[in-house]
Amino acid sequence: MIRVPQVRVVDEEGNQAGVMSTPDALRLAQDRGYDLVEVAPMAAPPVVRLLDYGQFKYEQARKEKEARKHQRSVDFKEIRLKIKIGKGDFDTKVRRSIEFLGDGDRVKVTVQFRGREVSHAYLGRDLLMRFAEQVGDNGVLDRQPLLEGKQMSIVITSNQKPKPRAEGGETTEATETTETAAAEPAVAAAPPPA
């Protein structure tokens, strides 16, 4: 509802219709079959436009959907380590985090302490710093090692833009299952013997 006494009217083609009273602008919009929409409420006087509001909302939603289609949110992946981790397991977790960072995700690396291991927190800090060194070129250390209860963690941010996810990965799997089901002949129930 427009509550100001005068408004600046822009017609459906984008031409200035001038400043007029709000009831006159409403009448003009109704006569032409459009809605009166306030587009610049902070202007003096406020600017209103004659347009089909339903069509306007539809086009706005379509533009937002199209914009969302071409963007991807950054996921937050977590990798958990223990102080007594072996070299092979450590290297595997480093490789996996490099894959995550290559996709543009952020990685939280956590060292979990068990029992009295927390009294040797420096071992966890050294492990995390070695992990950050190994990842090196693929990401930037976003948060220094921080001890929270019985775990210590760092956050590594990717240097790359997020890659769009492959669309249709799940649909091809669903298609394959329906094709195999269609290849099997349908079995009809035989009538019971009389």
What domains are there in the chain, each with its CATH number?
Answer: 6-69 (3.10.20.80), 76-158 (3.30.110.10)
Ranking 6-15, 126-135, 182-191 by mean pLDDT, the lowest is 182-191
Average pLDDT, the chain: 81
Query: For a pLDDT cut of 90, what percent of the chain falls above it?
Result: 41
Q: Please tell me the total number of residues recorded for the chain in this structure.
A: 194
- Residue 110 bridge partners (DSSP): 80, 153
Question: What is the side-by-side strand order in the sheet with 47-51?
Answer: 16-21, 6-10, 47-51, 35-40
Higher pLDDT residue, 182 or 128?
A: 128
- The rounded distance, in Å, linking the Cα atoms of 142 and 156 is 5
The pLDDT, as a whole number, for residue 165 is 59
The pLDDT, as a whole number, for residue 193 is 53
The pLDDT, as a whole number, for residue 48 is 92
- The rounded distance, in Å, linking the Cα atoms of 80 and 95 is 14
pLDDT at 7 > cutoff 90: yes
Q: What average pLDDT does the segment 106-129 reach?
A: 91
The pLDDT, as a whole number, for residue 177 is 33
pLDDT at 16 > cutoff 70: yes
The pLDDT, as a whole number, for residue 112 is 93
Cβ of 152: how many Cβ atoms within 10 Å? 24
Cβ of 129: how many Cβ atoms within 10 Å? 14
The pLDDT, as a whole number, for residue 166 is 55
The pLDDT, as a whole number, for residue 182 is 38
pLDDT at 100 > cutoff 50: yes
pLDDT at 172 > cutoff 60: no
